[in-house]
Structure 1
Amino acid sequence: MKPAQRRADPNDAIIELAASCRFDPDRWAHLAWDWGVGELEGIDGPREWQSDINRVIRDHLANPETRFEPLQIAVASGHGIGKSAQMGMLSNWAMSCFANAKVVITANTETQLRTKTSPEVGQWFRRSLTGHWFGINSQSIKSRDVAAVETWRMDFVTWSEHNTEAFAGLHNKGRIILLLFDEASGIAPKVWEVAEGAMTDENTVIIWVAFGNPTQNSGRFRECFRRFRDFWVTRNIDSRTVPGTNKRYFERLRKQYGEDSDVFKYRVRGLFPEQSAMQFISSADADKARDRHLRKEQYSFAPVIIGVDPAWTGDDKLEIYLRQGLYSRSLASLPRNDNDIQVANLIARLEDEHQADAVFIDAGYGTGIYSAGQVLGRAWRLIWFSGNPIDPGYLNKRAEMWGTMKFWLKQGGTIDPKDTELYDDLVGPETVPRTDGKVQLESKKDMKGRLLPSPNKGDALALTFAEPVAKKQRAITAADGRIIHGGNMAQTDYDPLAG
C-alpha cells in the first residue's frame, strides 16, 4: 500500500510567492491582485507613480549596504492620485512578506483615518491573495495566527501632539516597521518628532512614507522637500499625469485660478504654495532676492550696517549680519557664547574691518555684549524687539523691522544664494491675527513649536533696519599728509529705497 500523499495546500504557492517578494514590493503589487477582474476591471496594474515608489523601496532593500538604513519617502500630490490605494498595497506587502511585521498608519484627523484611510486600506487587503490570512477591522488588521496575533499586526492610530504615546513600543528589531502618514501636511509637528524615535532599531527594515496634498508652505511635511531634503526621497505628483483622474475638472480649475496660482499648485500640480495664508514673507520674494546679483557700484555708496542677534538658547547660534543698501551678507555664525567680552571684541573687529556706520544689537540677550562694547568705546545701539515701533501699524519694533525688510526684498534686496538658513528664516515666520489690525509676528517659541528653528539670521538682518543711519564722515589722508574730511552725512538708510 502506497503511503498517503500530502494534499497540496494552496497556501504553499502564496507563501512561496510572498517569500520571493520580501524585498520587492513592485513585483508583489503586480502579482497579489487580480488586475482587470471584478472591482479592478479596466485597471491593468498599479499606476506609474505607485510603481515608482515601490521600485525606490525595492532598490533600497536590494542593496545589503542600505537595507537596514531607514528609508524615508515624502509624496506631495494633487487630488485623486490613489494615495490610499498605495498605502493599502504597501501595507499588504509588508504584512504578507514579513513574518511578525509591524505597520502603523496615521492621518491628520480621526475622521480622515476612520472614514477614508482605514476602509480603503481594508479593501486592498480583502482583494489581495493573502486577504484570508488576516482579520480586518476598522482599527487594526492582525494575523489570524493565534500565536502571532499581537506581534504581526497593522494599527490605524489617531495621533496628535497630545497623544504621542502611541509611538511607545514602535520597535520591531530584526523584522520590519512600516510607518505611513496620510494627509501629512496636517499632522502635528510633535508627532513627526516622536516618530523619529522609531528609526533606531538595528538590523531592521524601516520604511516611513508620508503622503499629502501640499497645502501649507511651512511645517514638517514642507521641510521634507526643503530643509530635510537630503534625508527624504521626495516626489511631486501632478494629478493630470495620473490615469483615472478628472482631467476636465482640473482644466476648469486651471482656467478659474491660473496655472501658477497657489490653489492650482496644491490641488492639482502637487506643488507647495508660494505663501501660506499666514506666512509673512513669501517664498517668491525670497527666491527673487536669492537670484539677484548686484554690482558693487549699486550699493557701495550706502551706509554699512551690522545687525547682531545673540543666541537665546543652547541650540541657537549667534548671528552677525551686514547690509549695505540692497546688498547683504553673513559675517559670522557661531555657537552660543556667554563670554560677552569675547563676542564684543569680535563685533568690534568686524565693525572696523567693514567700516560699519552703525551696529544694532538685540537687547533681549545682548545687554552684556553692549556693555562690553561700551568699555571698548563703541557707540553701538541696543534694540528692544518688544519696543515701540515708529509706524503704529506694527505691534512692536520686531514686527516693524521685519516689515521694512519685507519691503526691501520686494524692492531689490539680495541674499546669498548659498545661505539656505537665511532663506528658511525669511519664509518661516507667520503673522498672528489681531482684532486691531496691527501686524504681529509669531514668537521664536511658537516657531519652535512648529518645529521650525529660531530665525536668528533673519532677525540679525532685520536689525539692520532698526533705525535711520547716516554714513559717517571718515578722515582721509592726502598724499602730502594733510587730513581731509570726507563722507556724505546726507545719505541715510532707513527707507530701503534710499540705498
Structure 2
Amino acid sequence: MLSNEAILYYANHPVEFVQDILKADPDPEQKKILRSLVENQMTSVRSGHGIGKSAVEAWSVIWFMCTHPYPKIPCTAPTQHQLFDILWAEISKWKRNNKTLDSELIWTKEKLYMKGHAEEWFAVARTASTPDALQGFHAEHMLYIIDEASGVEDKIFEPVLGALSTPGAKLLMCGNPTQLSGFFYDSHNKNREQYSTFHIDGRNSTRVSQEFVQTIINMYGEDSDVFRVRVAGDFPLAEDDIYIPLPLVEKSIATEYFPRRHPQIIHIGCDVARFGTDKTVIGYRTDEKVQFFKKRVGQDTMKTADDIVSLGMLLVYQYGLKPDIDEPIPIKIDDGGVGGGVVDRLRQIKRNNPERFWWMEVYPVKFGQKIRHKFFDDSTTYMMSVLKKLLQPFDDNGLPKDVEIILPDDDALVAQISGRKYEMTENSKIRVESKKVMKARGVQSPDEADCILLVCLPVKRPKKKKGAT
C-alpha cells in the first residue's frame, strides 16, 4: 500500500493520485472538480449527459479512502440503478486498475472497505428513497457523494448539513439540472456563495460525442429544455405556455420503482404510425411503472397487432393472470388513420379464440376529438391533463401523495411531453397543440408521448352480462 509520505502527498493532490495510482486520465473539468475537494468543503457540479460524472465520483471515493485515516463515505442517488449499476460499478472498475489497491480495498454490493477495518474505514451505498439514508455517520473524515442530486429530495440532505458543521466533512454533488427548486438548485443559485460550483456544457466536453449533441439539436432545437438540461447542463426555463413542465417529467423518471409480484394495474397502449417517419410505439404500464415494448417506423397493421398480442401474452405469463380471477388487460389503440386496422385485427383475434384471449379488452381512442368537458377542449388535452395530474407530487388538498407514475428515461419522450404548448380557446377551455401544429414549428411527431397518454388513460370497463362470472 502507499507509504506515509505518499499518503501525505496524495491527500492534497487528488489529480496526481488518479493519474499515478488509478492510471486514469482526467480531463480539465474533472481535474478542477478533484482539486475542489481539497480546497473546498462543498462542491456542486451541474452538467449535461456523458461528461464523466460517475468516473470523477468513483475516483473521489477511492482517493479519499486511501488518503484519509478511518473515513466514512456515504454515497447516495435517487434510484438503485443509478447508485449500484452505475456509480458502484464504476468504483469496482477503477479499483481493479491497481492490483495492490484491489487487494486492500474490499468491494461488496453495498460497501467498500479497507481490509481488516470493515466497520471503521468504509464507503457505503444507500439509495435516497428513505429519509434516514444518510443518517448515523460519524467520523473525523467524512465525504458525502450525492449522484444525480437534482432528483434527491431535500429531507435526505438534512443530516448532511448537520455533519458538514464539522471541519473534516466534505460534500460532492453532481447531476443534471432537472429541477427548478430544492437543495441542488439552491447550491447553484441563492446559496451559491457557500459552494464551489461547476457548470459543464456537453458541447465543450471531450467525452461527449458531437453526434449525440447534433442529434439533440436536430430533433429538439437548441432552445428546447431537453437540450438545456441534457446537453448544455442548464436548468430548464419556466415557460408559461408549456402544459407539462420538464421538472415534473424528470422527477418522475428519477423515481425508484419497487415492482410487485402481482400488479394491480396492467395496461397496454399503442400509437400507430400514419405516414413518413412517424413511429408505431407500443408501451405498457404495471402499477406506476411505464415502459416501452417496441418502436418502429412503418404501418404494417398486422405486424403491430401481432406485437401487441405477444406483449399481452408475455404479461399474462409473467404475472400468472387467470380468467376467473383477474380483470382483462385494457389495450388502448390510436384509432385515427391506419390505427383502425389494428383495432379490427385484435377484435378478430379475440372473436376467433375467446378462451385463449380472454385477457384482451380493446379500446379505440381518437386523438384531437372534440369532447364535452368543463375545462378541456378535446380528447388529447384531456389525456394530457390525466398525465399531468399523475405526475403532480401533491393531491388536490396540497398534501404529498404516493408516486402515481414513473416514466421511462427516453430523450424523445421527455422532449415531446415537456415541449407541448397549450392555449385557451374562445370558450375559455384548455387546448394543447395538435401534431400538425407541432410539426409546423419544427417539433417531431409526439409518437412516444401519445403512446404514454394511451397507456395512462383510464377506461370505463364494459358491464358484465347477467350470469357472467
TM-score (structure 2 length as normaliser): 0.51
The aligned residue for residue 197 of structure 1 is 162
1:86 has 2:31 as partner = no
Task: Give the superposition deviation at 1:82.
Answer: 0.8
Paired with 2:196 and 2:395, the residues of 1 have a C-alpha distance of 33
Distance 1:222 1:77 in 2: 12
Q: Is 1:46 matched up with 2:26?
A: yes
Task: Indicate conservation of the 8 Å contact 1:164/1:194, yes or no.
Answer: no
Q: Which has the larger radius of gyration?
A: 1
* Structure 1 residues 232 and 445: CA distance shift in structure 2, 3 A: farther
1:78 deviates by: 0.6
Q: How far apart in 1 are the matches of 2:85 and 2:55?
A: 14
Please tell me the root mean square deviation across aligned C-alpha atoms, in Å. 3.0
Q: How does 1:409-488 map to 2 (within 5 A)?
A: 433=388
Deviation per residue, 1:256-308 (Å, 9 max, x gap): 222221110111001011028778899xxxxxxxxxxxxxxxxxxxxxxxxxx
User: 1:443 Cα deviation (Å)?
Assistant: 7.3
Q: What fraction of aligned residue pairs are identical, expressed as a percent? A: 27
| Aligned mates of 2:56, 2:245 — CA distance in 1 | 36
Aligned-partner Cα distance in 2 for 1:249–1:133: 39
Task: Tell me which residue corresponds to 2:332.
Answer: none
Q: CA deviation at 1:158?
A: 1.4
Match of 2:113 in 1: 142
SS state of the match for residue 167, structure 1?
coil
Instruction: State the Cα distance separating 1:250 from its structure 2 match.
Output: 0.7
CA contact (8 A) 2:178 2:246 kept: no
Q: 1:151 aligns with which of 109, 120, 124?
A: 120
Alpha carbons 1:125, 1:131 under 8 Å: kept: yes
Cα 1:157/1:442, change in 2 over 3 Å: same
2:411 counterpart residue number: none
Counterpart Cα distance in 1 of 2:233 and 2:194: 20
Quote the Cα distance in structure 1 between the aligned partners of 2:54 and 2:246: 34
Aligned residues: 260
Given that 1:80 and 1:239 are in contact with CA atoms closer than 8 Å, whether structure 2 keeps it comes out as yes
Mark the runs of 5 or more structure 1 residues left unpaired by the alignment: 1-10, 36-44, 61-70, 283-391, 395-430, 448-499
Q: Is the 8 A contact 1:91 1:103 kept in 2?
A: yes
Which has the bigger relative contact order, CA under 8 A and spacing at least 6?
2
Please give the alpha-carbon distance, in whole angstroms, between the structure 1 residues aligned to 2:133 and 2:150. Answer: 19
Corresponding residue to 1:181 among 138, 146, 171? 146
**Equivalent AA in structure 2 for residue 226 of structure 1:** N
Deviations 1:334-358 (A, max 9, x none): xxxxxxxxxxxxxxxxxxxxxxxxx
Report SS of the residue matched to 2:234: coil
Residue of structure 2 equivalent to 1:225? 188
Q: Give me the whole-angstrom Cα distance separating, in 2, the residues matched to 1:56 and 1:95.
A: 17
User: Cα–Cα, structure 1 residues 224 and 441, in superposed 2: closer, same or farther, change >3 Å?
Assistant: farther
Normalised by the length of structure 1, the TM-score is: 0.48
Q: Does 1:133 align with 2:97?
A: no
What amino acid is aligned across from residue 163 of structure 2 in structure 1?
A
For 2:169, give the aligned amino acid. I
CA shift digits 1:236-271 (9 cap, x unpaired): 111121223211121121122222211101110010
Residue type of the partner of 1:246? S
What is the one-letter code of the residue matched to 1:56?
Answer: S
Aligned pairs for 1:348-363 (under 5 A) are none
Which stretch has the larger CA shift, 118-127 or 23-32? 23-32
Name the structure 1 match of 2:433.
none
The answer to whether the Cα contact below 8 Å between 1:182 and 1:212 also exists between their aligned partners in 2 is yes
The verdict on how the C-alpha distance between 1:53 and 1:442 changes in structure 2, with shifts beyond 3 A counting, is farther
Work out the CA distance in 1 between the residues paired with 2:179 and 2:127: 21
5+ residue gaps, structure 2, are 248-373, 377-385, 402-469
User: Which of residues 137, 144, 166 in structure 2 aligns to 1:170?
Assistant: 137
Partner of 1:33: 22
Residue 154 to residue 264, structure 1, CA distance change in 2 (3 Å): same
